[in-house]
Amino acid sequence: MQVAKLKKHHKAKIISIKQVSLTQYFMKFVPLDDFSSKPGQFVSILCGGLTLRRPFSIASFDGNEIGVLFKLKGKGTEFLSNLRVGDEIDFVGAVGNGFKIENKRSLLIGAGVGVAPVFYLKTELEKMQIPSLLISGFQTEKEIPEGIECDKICTDDGTAGLHGSVINYIRNMIEEFKPEKIYACGPKIVLQNTAEIAQRYKIPCEVAMEKEMACSIGVCRGCVIKIKDKNGEKTASVCQDGPVFNGEAVLW
Amino acid sequence: MVEIQDLKTSVDLGRGFVIKNPIMTASGTFGYCFEYARFYDIKKLGAIVTKAITLEPRAGNSGRRIFETCGGMINRIGLENVGVERFMAEKLPLLNKGGMDFVINIAGSSLEEYVSLAKICENHKIRATELNVSCPNVKSGCLEFGTDEKTLYGLVSQVRDEFSGCLIVKLTPNVTSVEKIAESAQKAGADAVSAINTLKGTGIKLTWAKNRFIKETVSGGLSGRAVKPVALGVVSRISQVLDIPIIGIGGIYDLADAFEFLSAGASAVQVGTANFTHPECAGCIADDLHDFMYENGIRSIEDLKEKLKGE
């Protein structure tokens, strides 16, 4: 029988919760017992009486405080946005595979709330003194989350930073920064474009995917995507086999 | 006060398949069980039921598979699994080594497939199987076998001929008379029935964007707290016509829910969707049951069931 190395189900106390953009919140909480994580992994938070937990990429972890960035989307995030400092939350994590950090010049691409895991990755790369550049895209200036520092910003409507989708700037960034590895998180269209461009430049690329989840631990097969396999294709669960996949392996 | 060694929480589901307590986990919500071993000691469960196994590997349905509803969820996984050959080679040895009682859930798209699966289970000395004749998420077979009493009778009889262990038939609520279906399973030689599988349902999500509605439709099986009254209704009704044990399933999140099913006539219960929300849920119910019986001097599940009839 498999023996648990580290407890995966935790209670935590909220130490700060703050609206950081028009629709986004940043919540920090301290787990009541041992916890560890790496960039690209996520936590699955119980949201009141809702049937399904909600998965959130870890946006920061300093050995004590865990931070998640979330966007108001529905009942789960609405519940979380109403929590206050001192409230207790219940979460499963850290789960998922996480990014494979390598000692290579790294271009990090975030889009919308997808900036969270690449922001965490950037902090870790900096600690390891691995050169990195983080470019993030948002719809408009009011959607840029406060406190998430990016090297470059683009907005769809041009109200801040570079004008246009982050997709339009990937090639430029590759030519200028000359990365040896690319990491991305955001909507599918951004990830697909990133993966295809990276492939053209022959740069290894990892993408962090998102999907509705039920169990978040690889049991229910509710969150599968299709990936390439030696026999053609196979399904892979975003929660356990992912959420990070090689850009080349994903069948978009 | 009952002495701890006299406390008997075991339940006999037939053919010598005696589980140490009536708390089980439902197929499809517990993987092959090892996934939950990182949360608690799964040996405290009465038995676990594996994810459905089919003759050939299945990739499952494409598109969105999960839809949360008020008090529940709809799934349309489509029986994704590795197929019986890989299951027996890779998962069975682990289950055997694990030391807990387990039930293999089998699903087919034809009579022949069910019979082949039963033979394979027999050859591997599987002690208990649950016949999935109630999955609403596959195009052919499965549910068809569970909605017609004559078809079900034929299927269960033929599987019975091949399988000598405990044979549990999992019933669907998506029928006109569940009593008739349950009776035909019993007549054909089932040792127990489990009820209910998911209810057929549809979730629709409409988003207004750029002057038009984006529509997402997810049709599949509804589970979770929302289905508990339906499940209790089915268990109550079939308990009037059956002599074999009933395993209650549907919206069980705590001991109080489990008691309601025992009160309605079930001998054991399966915890399903609750595993997703609260990973230790089934283990907690098993602990709570033990504590309740000990603290209140209830010696056996039979005594408990008698008391649960209420006054």
CB contact at 8 A, B2 and B299? yes
Predicted confidence at residue B1, as pLDDT, reads: 56
Predicted confidence at residue A106, as pLDDT, reads: 98
Q: Is residue B213 part of a domain?
A: no
Residue ranges of A 180-239 with Cβ closer than 8 A to chain B:
212-224, 226, 234-235
Strand order across the beta sheet in which A205-208 lies: A162-163, A152-155, A132-138, A106-111, A181-185, A205-208, A244-246
Predicted confidence at residue A44, as pLDDT, reads: 97
Asked if B29 reaches chain A (Cβ–Cβ under 8 Å), the answer is yes
Q: Is residue B217 part of a domain?
A: no
Q: What digits encode the pLDDT tens for the residues A195-216?
A: 999 999 999 999 999 999 999 9
H/E stretch holding B150: helix B149-162
Q: Is residue B216 part of a domain?
A: no
By Cβ distance, the residue of A4, A92, A212 closest to B64 is A212
Q: What digits encode the pLDDT tens for the residues B217-256?
A: 999 999 999 999 999 999 999 999 999 999 999 999 999 9
Predicted confidence at residue A231, as pLDDT, reads: 82
Tell me whether residue B284 is one of the annotated catalytic residues. no
Predicted confidence at residue A1, as pLDDT, reads: 36
Once rounded to an integer, what is the mean pLDDT over residues B121-139? 89
Into which CATH architecture does domain A106-208 fall?
3-Layer(aba) Sandwich (3.40)
CB contact at 8 A, A152 and A138? no
Q: Is residue B57 part of a domain?
A: yes
Helix and strand numbers (H, E) in chain B are: 11, 14
How confident is the prediction for chain B on average, in pLDDT? 94
Predicted confidence at residue B35, as pLDDT, reads: 86
User: Sorting pLDDT into bands at 50, 70 and 90, what band is B139?
Assistant: low
CB contact at 8 A, B37 and A224? no
**One of B135, B142, B166, B284 is an active-site residue; which one?**
B135
Structure tokens at A80: 């979380």
> At residue B141, does pLDDT exceed 80?
no
Predicted confidence at residue B138, as pLDDT, reads: 72
Asked if A52 lies within 8 A of B60 by C-beta distance, the reply is no
Enumerate residues 6+ apart whose C-beta is below 8 A from B89. none
Asked if B277 lies within 8 A of A51 by C-beta distance, the reply is yes
The residue to which tokens 């499952």 are assigned: B60
Predicted confidence at residue A124, as pLDDT, reads: 97
Asked if A221 lies within 8 A of B80 by C-beta distance, the reply is yes
User: Sorting pLDDT into bands at 50, 70 and 90, what band is A88?
Assistant: very high
Once rounded to an integer, what is the mean pLDDT over residues B5-18? 93
Once rounded to an integer, what is the mean pLDDT over residues B132-140? 77
Q: Is residue B205 part of a domain?
A: no
Strand ranges in A65-180 using DSSP code E only, listed in sequence order:
66-71, 88-95, 106-111, 132-138, 152-155, 162-163
Predicted confidence at residue B221, as pLDDT, reads: 96
Q: What digits encode the pLDDT tens for the residues A98-139?
A: 999 999 999 999 999 999 999 999 999 999 999 999 999 999
Predicted confidence at residue B2, as pLDDT, reads: 64
Structure tokens at B274: 């609750």
> At residue A168, does pLDDT exceed 50?
yes
Q: Which CATH number fits the domain that encloses residue B97? A: 3.20.20.70
Domain limits, chain A = 9-95, 106-208, 211-252
Q: Is residue B66 part of a domain?
A: no
Predicted confidence at residue A3, as pLDDT, reads: 41
Asked if A218 lies within 8 A of B67 by C-beta distance, the reply is no
Asked if B63 reaches chain A (Cβ–Cβ under 8 Å), the answer is no
Distance, first Cα to last Cα, chain B: 22
Calpha distance A208→A56 (Å, rounded): 12
Enumerate residues 6+ apart whose C-beta is below 8 A from A228. A248, A249, A250, A251
> At residue A68, does pLDDT exceed 50?
yes
* Number of domains comprising chain B: 1
By Cβ distance, the residue of A5, A9, A213 closest to B39 is A9
Once rounded to an integer, what is the mean pLDDT over residues B149-163? 96
Asked if B66 lies within 8 A of A222 by C-beta distance, the reply is yes
Q: What digits encode the pLDDT tens for the residues B276-294?
A: 999 999 999 999 999 999 9
Asked if B77 lies within 8 A of A92 by C-beta distance, the reply is no
Asked if B29 lies within 8 A of A215 by C-beta distance, the reply is yes
Which domain range does residue B187 map to?
4-61+78-198+222-308
> At residue A4, does pLDDT exceed 80?
no
Q: How far is A213 from chain B (nearest CA, A)?
A: 7
Asked if B38 reaches chain A (Cβ–Cβ under 8 Å), the answer is yes
By Cβ distance, the residue of A2, A220, A224 closest to B29 is A220
Asked if B102 reaches chain A (Cβ–Cβ under 8 Å), the answer is no
Enumerate residues 6+ apart whose C-beta is below 8 A from B301. B8, B9, B10, B11, B21, B22, B262, B267
Predicted confidence at residue B140, as pLDDT, reads: 64
H/E stretch holding B308: helix B301-308
Q: What digits encode the pLDDT tens for the residues A10-51?
A: 999 999 999 999 999 999 999 999 999 999 999 999 999 999
Predicted confidence at residue B194, as pLDDT, reads: 98
The third-level CATH classification (topology) of the domain covering A211-252 is Dihydroorotate dehydrogenase B (pyrk subunit); domain 3 (2.10.240)
Strand ranges in B47-134 using DSSP code E only, listed in sequence order:
47-49, 66-69, 72-75, 102-106, 128-132
Predicted confidence at residue A185, as pLDDT, reads: 98
The third-level CATH classification (topology) of the domain covering A9-95 is Elongation Factor Tu (Ef-tu); domain 3 (2.40.30)
Once rounded to an integer, what is the mean pLDDT over residues B49-71? 95
Predicted confidence at residue A6, as pLDDT, reads: 54
Q: Is residue B208 part of a domain?
A: no
> Which residues in chain A are closer than 8 Å to B68, comparing Cβ atoms?
50-52, 212
Asked if B253 reaches chain A (Cβ–Cβ under 8 Å), the answer is no
Q: What digits encode the pLDDT tens for the residues A222-243?
A: 999 999 998 899 999 999 999 9
How confident is the prediction for chain A on average, in pLDDT? 95
CA dist A210 to A16, A178, A246, B63, Å?
25, 27, 14, 14
Q: Is residue B204 part of a domain?
A: no
